[in-house]
Structure 1
Amino acid sequence: MSRIVLGVSGGIAAYKACEVLRRLSEGGHEVTVVPTPNALMFVGEATWAALSGRPVATGVFEHVHEVPHVRLGRQAELVVVAPATADLLARAASGRADDLLTNTLLTASCPVLMVPAMHTEMWLHPATRANVATLRERGVIVMNPADGRLTGADSGPGRLPEPVDIVAVATSLLDDPATVDAVRRRDLDGRHVVVSAGGTHEALDPVRFLGNAASGLQGVALARAAALRGATVTLVAAHVTAALPAGVQVQRVSSTADLADTMTGLAGEADALVMAAAPADFTPARPSEGKIKKDGDAGLSIDLVQTTDVLATLSRHRPRPQTIVGFAAETAASADALVALGRAKLARKGCDLLVCNDVSGGAVFGRAENSVVIVSAEGVVGEAAGDKSVIAHRIWDAVVASEKEKDR
């Protein structure tokens, strides 16, 4: 069980923090909610207490003998502020201590995650940008907001990311100190990375398709992790069941041909390409223009042809120096066999790194956890197991290390 402080500042998005609290609590964490006085105008103290099962800390003069303005920050293993309004970001950046939440931020020695939410003009204002830069320089982790519907009829960047997105980031920071260090370094700053995710659909007729079990969870985690580490991220989403991450550009595709065209089109501006999608290897030679009907007891024969090998094509026709990462979902008899299959595939495809996982028995697809081995032409360069958000960071670690090796 981890001790988390959930700070809530006074914005309309405070209601979404209820879902963040619920998910963190159900994950087995001990969560203490510290709302600002303005946050209590949106969601009352009773709601926070009921959802957390714990007393709510609202002021520096409550339970003074416990010195809450110092104790909460010292005991926390993670502080999450969601939503973090423009005012809260400004007060935190200037070191203010005018309520319990800002006092807690000044005494916290653990990782601090801030999740901004505000109107677009406020998010883009030079003062807010400067405050975010200051906080990041101090090691505070600031997520980028989502782009979407805001209060009233307004729409644009500034929307609070979805609770599942926030909790995924929080969980990765709790699980692995190396992730915290990587995010604080923002070692992908200035890079444009393109990540594909999900499974493609190959149309049989207007209502049926050939597909696979890929959920897109690992690709989404890779896109989220890259954005946290400072990259400009384009996520090419095939059929994805996972919630899409905030702060990334999304291009949707359907078939393997769509995926190939989109990835090829984006390759010219990408510093790294990660093919985490699961493209179909075969497609119907002649898809029916109308719905295929049953014909008595007769079966159905379908002629299939191979699809474009997207990874091999990207590797062979690089428009610029870039790192290309492929994935190999294999059914292997042993760990050594998995590595052998991965190295053989890497040689065939021509990519720089290959992430191998064993999907025997229905493992990996649609699950929150994974186990991977990362190989290069030289052999195994990394291994990771656990939550896919943490594995995503280990994959980016391998990309950064590979690029440093190339520069030597």
Structure 2
Amino acid sequence: MAGGQGTRLGSTAPKGCYDIGLPSHKSLFQYQAERIARLQAVAEKECNKAAGSVIIPWYVMTSGPTRRETEDYFTKNKFFGLDAKNVIFFEQGTLPCLTTEGKIVLDSPSHIAVAPDGNGGLYAATRAPLSQEDKSHSVLSDLKKRKVLYVHAYCVDNCLVKVADPVFLGYCINKQADCAAKVVPKASPSESVGVVARRGDKFSVVEYSEISQEQANMRSDNNELAFGAANIANHFYTTSYLNSVESFEEDLAFHIARKKIPFVDLETGEFVKPSKPNGMKLEMFVFDVFPYTQRFAVLEVARNEEFSPLKNAPGTGSDDPGTSRRDLLAQHRRFLEAAGARVEDGVQIEISPSLSYSGEGLELVKGKTFTKSGHVQSLEELDTLL
């Protein structure tokens, strides 16, 4: 899910193109592409397959404002070493913008103002034609053609995401889940995040605004928060489940986001950019399908290993480029230390995902002490940082 424009970051490029300031200056897209390449290589080795025989197709959901630039970015960077035919771009839909009274907003005298339909637009987008030239070809038809049975979906703005995580996929397959969610423990009872919980006998995401202070502070017998499973937009689906969503999609409710929506004043013809929220955008959320799932599963993972979202402008101090960079480099320090190395205080080493997906393959650093900061693409380059 990569339809975001990165406006809150002060960026004019799609969010996946953003550089969080790592020593390598790799973008979020490049990091995820290299993780896919590494996981393909690990799978080939573990299963005694020929080089190049394992393929993990990557479906990149863009939006109207980001599609062309996203495709151009991948082309310019030669798809970061992946085969272009295994990177499939598709586009989420749009919905009309409304005034606070529920009337349609115009952004010109002859054009309705529209906005992306939220990450819940994923489901309809998988059925839409991938191109105007071939209207029979969609994400769902491509999955069927490739005989893909399971799908991992995530938001592009999480620098720690384990793309196509074999642990998550294996857990869900073992549970025979149709749909599943990864969660992390809430950082505090007051953290402004939705939680996965039951409404009656149905799983759903309960927004933080829907939970009272008393409920937010409730604890279980083992002293964990009763409502502590923070949703991180990291999901598993079977392809048969994705095909079934159309049967109940009309029952899903739209969510209202109050936003500043530029419009044309029909009396004066003037184009107006409001300074405060003046209307409503309609959104669908990717988790809206949870209550319609027969076999649902939840996997809790460590926040510091798998979740560091990029939401805010540089210098904010929370969910910004600095915290993303800090969390990723801290993880790489843990990779080296777990492999038996010592990293001196203040030293920051970035390990390319093409070298290690999740800390594996670093056995040669055992007993070594790293004294210099830098980024490495190979085991040989690690020796230059001793």
Structure 1 length-normalised TM: 0.26
Larger radius of gyration: 1
Flag the structure with higher helix content.
Answer: 1
Of structures 1 and 2, the one with the larger relative CO (CA 8 A, separation 6+) is 2
